[in-house]
Structure 1
Amino acid sequence: MTPDPAGLADRLGRWSAGRGPLYLLLAARLRRLIDEGELPPGAALPPDRMFAAALAVGRGTVVAAYEQLRDEGRIVRRRGSGTRVAGPARPEPRDTTGAPVFLHLLEPRDDTTILLACAAPAAPPPALLTAYQRALTRLAAVSGDIGYHPSGIGELRRAIADHYTRRGAPTGPEQILVTNGGQQALSLLARAFVEPGGPVLVEAPTYPGALETFREHAAVLRTLPVGLDGFEAAVRTPGRRPDLAYLTATHHNPTGAVLPPLARRRLAAAAAAAGVPLVDDEVLAQLVFPGAEVPPPLAVHDDGVISVGSLSKSVWGGLRIGWIRARRPVIDRLARLRAVHDLGGNLPAQFAAAELLPELGRLCRDSAAERLARHDHLRAELARRLPRWEVPAVTGGQTLWIRLPHGDGDSFAQAALRHGVAVLPGSGLDAAGGGAAFIRVHFLAAPEVLTEAVHRLATAWHTYAGGAPPEPAPRSLAI
C-alpha cells in the first residue's frame, strides 16, 4: 500500500514545537510512533519529497531524519523499495516483548503468564501499611496548606537528606527534590540538561527506562562499558563533551555489577574536571544480600554528582516516591521545570515515605535473606534445566543477565511468551546493539513460581532451539 504523507503528517501532531534542529525533532516523533507500535514493523514510510511537501519542510530535513532512524536500526532504506520500519511485516497485532518496554510490561494481564520481565516487590510490605496509617493521622491534622509542594514536603526532604548524610554525603533538605518515582526524576534531568541532538553517555547495557527517556528528548546516545569504563578518554575528545552521563554504580541494572571504590572516586573526579553532569542511579542501591554493606553514593566523592533514588524497588512499585539529590541551584532549576507539568506529588504518600525513610536500611536487611534464597533457587533451577545458559551470580539487586548459547533474545522472548513466561530481551537495554544474545529476568517471585517459570522456559527453549523435549512439568500453578 502506498503510504499517505498527509495522513502521517497529521499523526505526528506538533512535532516541530521543540528546541533543536528540525530533523532531530522529526526523528524523535517518528521514533515514538515506531516504538509505541503505531508504525508497525514493515510499514512503508512516505518518499522523501512527498513527505517533505506534506510537512512543509525541505527535503533535506526528511532525509536527515530518516538517516538518523536508519542509523538507530529503526528503519531500512533501499533503492527501489523505499523506506520501511525495520522488521518483517505483520498481518495482525500480536503479543510482543519489544521496545518500548513500559507499556506491555506494565499493562495488567488476565492470563497465567509468569512475569519475569519487570522487577518490583509484588505486594506492599506491612511496614508500608503502618506508615500509611500514621500518614493519614498526620493528614487529618493539616490546616492552612493547599497541598501544592513542587519540591516535596519539608519533612520528606529532610528524611531523604538525612538518609544521604548517614551514608557519608552531608546533605541539606534544600538539596532534595521529591518526584513521582525515579522515572520522573530521569525525565526532569533529561529536560534540564539534554539538548536535542546532544550526546548522552550511557552504559551498555543499562536500564531501558533511561534509554527511552533520553531518546524522547532527542539525545544521541554514546555508550561505554558497564561502570562507564573509558569515561576520562571519552570526555577529553574535542567537540564531544556530553550533555549528561548516566550510570548505575550499585547493583547495576541489568548485570548486577557494583563499581569498586577506586573506580567511583576516579569517575566522580573526571566528571567534575570535565564539567559533565554525572547521574548516579541509586534506585537499587539498598538491595544488598546478607553480610554486605551498601556502598556509599558517588556524591561522597564529589558533591556535584547527581543522585537519583526511589522507593519503588526497595518498598513497593505502587509507592510513587522518588527523588533527586543535587546542589541547590540544580534542585531549584528542576523544581521550576517540574512545576510546569506537575504542581506536586501525593501528600499521603509523602507522609508515609517520611515515616519509612529512617527505617529503609532495616527494611531492606530484613528482606535480604529471602531475596538471596530466591536468587540461588532460580540459578539452581536454570543450571538443572538449561545448563548451557550462562547465568552469573550477583551480590544484590533484583535481576539476572543471562547469555543464551545461540539465537537472539528478541525471538526467544517471543517463544517464551507463547509458553507463558515474559522475559526482557537484551536488545532494548543496549544502545550499542550488543545485547542481542541476552535476556533479563528477575528473581523476586516465590520459589514455586520460579520453578514453574524455568520449566516453561526450558520447554520454550527446546522448541526454539529444536532440541529434545524437556523433563516432565512440575505441578501447574495458578499465577
Structure 2
Amino acid sequence: MRSILGAGRSHPQSQCSRIGLHMMPIHLTERLGRWSSGRGPLYVLLAARLRQLIDDGELPPGALLPPDRVLASALAVGRSTVVAAYDLLHGEGRIVRRQGSGTRVSGSPSTAAPDTTGAPVFLHLLEPSDDVIALACAAPDSPPPELVEAYERVLPELAATTGDIGYHPGGHIALRQAIAERYAQRGVPTEPDQVLVTTGGQQALSLLARAFVRPGDQVLVEAPTYPGALEAFREEAAVLRALPPGLGGFEAAARDHRPSLAYVIPTFQNPTGAVLPPLSCRRLAEAAGDAAVPLIEDEVLAELGFPGEETPPPLAAYADTVITVGSLSKIVWAGLRVGWVRAPAPVIARLARLRAVHDLGGNIPAQLAAADLLPRLEPLLRRWAAQRQACHDHLRAELTRQLPDWEVPPVQGGQTLWVRLPRGDGDSFAQTALRHGVAVLPGGGLDAAGGSEEYVRIHFLHTPDDLSQAVRRLARAWHAYRPPAERTTSRAVLAM
C-alpha cells in the first residue's frame, strides 16, 4: 500500500508514517489537492475527495485523521465544514468516530489484508476463486443454451452488415425496438427513442446519477438497497436520504429535502426480496410525479418470480415520467452485458450524449443476440424460475437444520436471502466466513442509514450440493465466530 506521506519523502516514523498516529494536516492537505474546485457545498466536496483517497488506498484502514479544528485550520475553512464532511463519511461507514479515540478510516491494519471491507468496488467478489464458495455476488454463472442459439442466429446478419461503423450511443435500433415492444406488451406503450441501451444495469445507474445529481444534491433511497446504486450516487457526491423499503414516507421526504432523484426496487427488492403492493406502487409513482422528483425504478429483478408469480407492471404504467432500468445480466447471464433505460425521449437523448463521451456505444453482436433473444425469453424464464425456487427451498432447509438461530425469511422470487444474525455483526462475521471458504455480503454496506449491521445477504444460485457445502462451512464459521467487543462499522465491498 502506498504511503500516505507522499512518494520520495523521508519522515520520522513518529510523524505518522505508521498507523495509529495522527495524519499530519500538512500532508493530508497535499493529498487533497484542489478539493474545493468543484460545484456544490464545501463539506460535500471535501467528503468526496476524502472518499476517493480512502477508496484508492491512499488513506488505509485504521489511519487516524486530523481533529476537526486542526484540519479546518489547515484548509482555511470553518470547523463546521470538516465536521459535516466527517459526518457524511461516517454515515457511509468509511470512517469511525469515537470520543477519546479520534476519527479513523474504517477497518484496522490487522484485518486489512486479505480484505473484504473498505476496498475499491466490484473487485474481489467478481473474480471466481477455487477455494471459496461465493454466496455474495448474485448472477447466473453460465450462459444458457438459448443465448448461444441467439448468437448463432444473428451471425449471418452480422456477416452481411455493411455501411455501419458500429457506433450507436443510444443502442442498436433492433434492440431498442425489441425492448420497446416488450414494454408495450406489459401495458406501457414505448417508442424506440424512449430506450437507451447500456452496458448492463450498473452503467445505466451511473449515467442517471451523472445526469441528475450534482454535489450536495439529496437522493432518496431505500434502506437497505442495492449497493451498486449507492456507489453510483456517492460517486457524484450525493447526500443519501434513507427511507424504509418501498420509499415509505416519500411525500414528506420530498417536501422536506427537495431531492434531485429517488431510487426504488419495488419487485423482489434487493436485498430483502420484498414486493411492493400494486396500490403502493401507484401511489409512489403518482407522488413522485406530483413532487416533480425523477423516480428511478430498478426492474433488473422484476422477472425473477418463482412459478406462479406474475410480473407486475412497471411503475411507468402509473406515471410515464418514471425512469425504468432493466438488464439481461440477472435473467440470462452476467457475462451478457446488456442493460437499458426506459424514460421520456428528452431524458434518453441526454443520457445518450453522456454515454457517447465514455464509450461511443456498446457491443453490437451482443445487442443483436439480445434483440433476437428477448421475444423468446419465456421458456428460459419458466425453467429458471423452477430451478431458483428449488435452490431457495434447499438453502433455507439447510440453514434451518444447521443454523436454527438464524432468521431466514422466505421470498417469492429474486436471487437472495436477507439473513439476520442472532449476535455480532455482518462485517466481522463475513471475515470469519471467508476464512472458512465461503463469501457472504455484510448488510451494513447496503444501508445508507448506517443500519442493517446484523444482517448478511446470501444468494441461492448454486447447485444444491454446493449450497449444502456452503452451509456446512457457514456452520463451522459460526461456531468459530467471536463478535468484536465494538461492532465493526467498515464498509462492505460492493457486490452485484
Fold in common (TM above 0.5): yes
Q: 2:48 matched to which residue of 1?
A: 28
Question: Which is worse superposed, 2-11 or 422-431?
Answer: 2-11
Is contact 2:61-2:112 (8 Å) kept? no
User: How many Å separate the matches in 2 of 1:147 and 1:13?
Assistant: 40
User: How many Å separate the matches in 1 of 2:112 and 2:302?
Assistant: 42
RMSD, aligned CA = 2.2
Secondary structure of 1:436's aligned partner = coil
Provide the TM-score with structure 2 as the length reference: 0.88
Q: 2:145 matched to which residue of 1?
A: 126
User: How many Å separate the matches in 1 of 2:271 and 2:100?
Assistant: 41
Provide the TM-score with structure 1 as the length reference: 0.91
Secondary structure of 1:90's aligned partner = helix
User: How many Å separate the matches in 1 of 2:105 and 2:383?
Assistant: 48
Q: 2:104 matched to which residue of 1?
A: 84
Where structure 1 has 5 or more consecutive residues not aligned to the other structure, the ranges are 467-479
Choose which of 118, 122, 125 in structure 2 pairs with 1:105.
Answer: 125
The letter of the residue matching 2:373 is L
Residue-by-residue CA offset, 1:125-153 (whole Å, 9 max, x unaligned): 11111112223322211111111110001
Is contact 2:107-2:118 (8 Å) kept? no
Q: 1:39 matched to which residue of 2?
A: 59
> What's the offset of the Cα at 1:174?
0.5
User: How many Å separate the matches in 2 of 1:373 and 1:242?
Assistant: 41
User: How many Å separate the matches in 1 of 2:34 and 2:283?
Assistant: 43
Choose which of 411, 416, 430 in structure 1 pairs with 2:428.
Answer: 411
Q: 2:186 matched to which residue of 1?
A: 167
1:208 counterpart = 2:238? no
Q: 1:150 matched to which residue of 2?
A: 169
Residue-by-residue CA offset, 1:277-306 (whole Å, 9 max, x unaligned): 011000001111111111111111111111
Is contact 2:423-2:454 (8 Å) kept? yes
> What's the offset of the Cα at 1:81?
5.8
1:372 counterpart = 2:392? no
Q: 2:136 matched to which residue of 1?
A: 117
User: How many Å separate the matches in 2 of 1:127 and 1:157?
Assistant: 20
User: How many Å separate the matches in 2 of 1:136 and 1:30?
Assistant: 48
Q: 1:69 matched to which residue of 2?
A: 89
> What's the offset of the Cα at 1:45?
2.6
> Counterparts of 1:289-304 in structure 2 under 5 Å?
289-304=306-321
User: How many Å separate the matches in 1 of 2:335 and 2:74?
Assistant: 43
Q: 2:400 matched to which residue of 1?
A: 383
The letter of the residue matching 1:260 is P
User: How many Å separate the matches in 2 of 1:28 and 1:418?
Assistant: 33
Where structure 2 has 5 or more consecutive residues not aligned to the other structure, the ranges are 1-14, 17-22, 484-496
Percentage of identical aligned residues: 69
Secondary structure of 2:169's aligned partner = coil
> What's the offset of the Cα at 1:438?
0.4
Residue-by-residue CA offset, 1:33-52 (whole Å, 9 max, x unaligned): 32454422211234667756
User: How many Å separate the matches in 1 of 2:34 and 2:370?
Assistant: 38
Is contact 2:94-2:118 (8 Å) kept? no
Is contact 2:96-2:106 (8 Å) kept? yes
The letter of the residue matching 1:310 is S
Aligned residue-pair number = 462
Secondary structure of 2:388's aligned partner = helix
> What's the offset of the Cα at 1:312?
0.6
Choose which of 448, 472, 476 in structure 2 pairs with 1:459.
Answer: 476
> Counterparts of 1:440-479 in structure 2 under 5 Å?
440-464=457-481
Is contact 1:152-1:345 (8 Å) kept? yes
User: How many Å separate the matches in 1 of 2:33 and 2:162?
Assistant: 43
Choose which of 114, 126, 142 in structure 2 pairs with 1:94.
Answer: 114
C-alpha distance 380-36 of structure 1, shift in aligned 2 (>3 A)? farther
Is contact 1:281-1:307 (8 Å) kept? yes
Question: Which is worse superposed, 19-28 or 379-388?
Answer: 19-28
Is contact 1:42-1:90 (8 Å) kept? no
Residue-by-residue CA offset, 1:396-441 (whole Å, 9 max, x unaligned): 1000000111111111111100100000000011111221110000
> What's the offset of the Cα at 1:245?
0.6
> What's the offset of the Cα at 1:366?
2.0
Is contact 1:97-1:425 (8 Å) kept? no
> What's the offset of the Cα at 1:451?
0.2
The letter of the residue matching 2:122 is F
User: How many Å separate the matches in 2 of 1:147 and 1:202?
Assistant: 36
C-alpha distance 98-364 of structure 1, shift in aligned 2 (>3 A)? farther
C-alpha distance 143-13 of structure 1, shift in aligned 2 (>3 A)? farther
User: How many Å separate the matches in 1 of 2:122 and 2:136?
Assistant: 10
User: How many Å separate the matches in 2 of 1:206 and 1:399?
Assistant: 12
User: How many Å separate the matches in 2 of 1:219 and 1:369?
Assistant: 40
Secondary structure of 1:40's aligned partner = coil
C-alpha distance 368-76 of structure 1, shift in aligned 2 (>3 A)? closer
Is contact 1:20-1:195 (8 Å) kept? yes
User: How many Å separate the matches in 2 of 1:333 and 1:406?
Assistant: 48
Q: 1:313 matched to which residue of 2?
A: 330
The letter of the residue matching 2:154 is A
> Counterparts of 1:183-332 in structure 2 under 5 Å?
183-237=202-256, 240-332=257-349
The letter of the residue matching 1:88 is S
> What's the offset of the Cα at 1:68?
3.1
> What's the offset of the Cα at 1:173?
0.4
Is contact 2:300-2:328 (8 Å) kept? yes
